[in-house]
Amino acid sequence: MAPAPGQRHQGIILAAAFVSVAYVSYSSGRLMASSRAHEELMGAPTLSTAEHTGRLGASSRASDVPMDAPTLSTAEEIVRQSYQQTFGGLPIDRICGPDVGGMDCSKALLSDAMQLSGNEASPMPWWFITLLRDWGTKGVGVHALWHNLTTLEPPVDFCTIEKVATTQWRNVQCFLNEGKKPSLQPRPCHLNAKMLQRRSYNVSRVVMLRDPLERLLSGYINKCVHKLRRRMEGHCAPNEVFNGTSLTEKIRDDPKQLFAAYVDGFPLKWNIHFFPMSVFCGGLFRHIDSYDFVGRMDNNFYQDLAKLSDKLGNGNKLPVALEKVFHLSDELAVHKDSNVGKETQAASHVKEYFTAASVRRALAYYAVDYVRLGLTIPSWVHEMLAEENLQATDS
């Protein structure tokens, strides 16, 4: 009998677990791949599905939904439960106070999560343990200084996040600080200590966010689908499984199954392009409200760029930089109603790669982004899960 859709990739993930067994052990020597984690890894359900008794609407934010709300959509219920099982189950405010750095915060959360991981009544998901572990690991890059782009005029600290137009924002920084023309800048153009002292004390903090599932797909297409980049950069980890090996040969021509396998397996070792946005820049989930401008890389992306230009571009070169890097006026003219340009194309590919099963898994991984950053669950997610519920009812 042929494997059912959504199941064929499980043998690949089993191989990934063996190849990457070192990734799921903590430095103290405790092996986190318990029987529960193994069952979850192999596809056992980890989140119950709430009956779809009502929909709050595609524009509702997960952060606006009370944790005890009786009528949540399927997607919102997945987000609610996953958040409660992970970040919501830890005393974040006590552990990660305002004076605690991002690295220390990640290590302290991991310590608490490790103590709670043996709780039979409410076990921590295996992928959450690896997330905390890798977030606090030096060399992974989450805490690297290149995520904070500083500019002199206007005085801005810009939090950049992988797969949220990082290259373009680096170009904006280099144009403002050094007058460099837009290109593939290999390194940020940071201000030196003397130039930082010249900045006014009224420094604006800016960050752009993106739907987590569309960001995940953008990273996958960029790092895994493009063969040359996949082989040269090695970001499609675990590389022993997904970097063109024989383990994926049987599903290599099936984009949905290959992507589903990747979604199941990549948290064995978190890559910098796939961490939740909440953990960047010292932990955005702790202080997103302190930012002066929070934009969205979505259908209103170019409109948000125009708002950023109006807010911070008076008397400086920011409007020129945004025009040169993002071709802002052209994009606004072409995409008046739907601002989907070259920076935001992943949304047009979601139905080519996602299945209801991979959507569920990804929603669980990135629940913290939806809850703590106030992001909207896209309408296509609701539609895909509603269709799954309808098919289940008909069968």
Q: Are 266 and 14 in contact (CB under 8 A)?
A: no
pLDDT digits (tens, 9 = 90+) for 56-77: 223 345 555 555 545 789 999 9
| 135, pLDDT greater than 80 | yes
The pTM of this model reads 0.82
Stronger pLDDT, 131 or 72, i.e. the higher one: 131
Q: Rounded to an integer, what distance in angstroms lies between the CA atom of residue 120 and that of residue 118?
A: 6
Is residue 340 very low, low, confident or very high in pLDDT (cuts 50, 70, 90)?
Answer: low
pLDDT at 81: 95
Is residue 227 packed enough to be buried (19+ CB in 10 Å), middle (13-18) or exposed (0-12)? Answer: exposed
Q: Percent of the chain, pLDDT > 70?
A: 76
pLDDT at 123: 77
pLDDT at 59: 35
Q: Rounded to an integer, what distance in angstroms lies between the CA atom of residue 127 and that of residue 267?
A: 6
Query: How many whole angstroms from its chain centre is CA 351?
Result: 18
Most confident of 29-38, 196-205, 367-376: 367-376
Q: Rounded to an integer, what distance in angstroms lies between the CA atom of residue 370 and that of residue 368?
A: 6
Looking from the CA of 223 toward its CB, the CA atoms found within 13 Å total: 23
Q: What is the secondary structure of 312-348 as a DSSP string?
A: H-TTSSHHHHHHHHH-HHHHHHH-SS----GGGGGGG
Residue reference for tokens 């690896």: 130
Determine if the peptide bond prior to 155 is cis (ω within 30°). no
Q: Rounded to an integer, what distance in angstroms lies between the CA atom of residue 4 and that of residue 27?
A: 38
pLDDT at 176: 94
Cα–Cα distances in Å, from 339 out to 26, 307, 336?
44, 14, 6
- Supply the mean pLDDT for the chain: 80
Stronger pLDDT, 68 or 283, i.e. the higher one: 283
pLDDT at 395: 62
Q: Rounded to an integer, what distance in angstroms lies between the CA atom of residue 293 and that of residue 296?
A: 10
Q: What is the secondary structure of 68-109 as a DSSP string?
A: T-S---HHHHHHHHHHHHTGGGS-HHHHS-TTS-HHHHHHHH
Q: Is 209 helix (H, G, I), strand (E, B) or coil?
A: strand
Task: Please list the residues that pair with 295 across neighbouring strands.
Answer: 208
- When mean pLDDT is compared across 103-107, 307-311, 336-340, the lowest value belongs to 336-340
Q: Are 48 and 81 in contact (CB under 8 A)?
A: yes
| 363, pLDDT greater than 90 | yes
pLDDT digits (tens, 9 = 90+) for 229-253: 777 787 887 777 777 667 777 887 8
pLDDT at 46: 31
pLDDT at 41: 34
Other C-beta atoms within 10 Å of 69: how many? 14
Query: What's the whole-number mean pLDDT along residues 28-36?
Result: 36
Query: What's the whole-number mean pLDDT along residues 290-312?
Result: 95
pLDDT digits (tens, 9 = 90+) for 139-173: 888 998 889 999 999 999 999 999 999 999 999 99
- When mean pLDDT is compared across 139-143, 173-177, 263-267, 291-295, the lowest value belongs to 139-143
Q: Annotate 135-155 with b (16+ C-beta within 10 A) or e (fewer).
A: bbbeebebbeeebbbbbeebb
Other C-beta atoms within 10 Å of 119: how many? 10
Torsion angles phi and psi, residue 32, rounded to 5? -90, -10
Query: What's the whole-number mean pLDDT along residues 202-219?
Result: 96
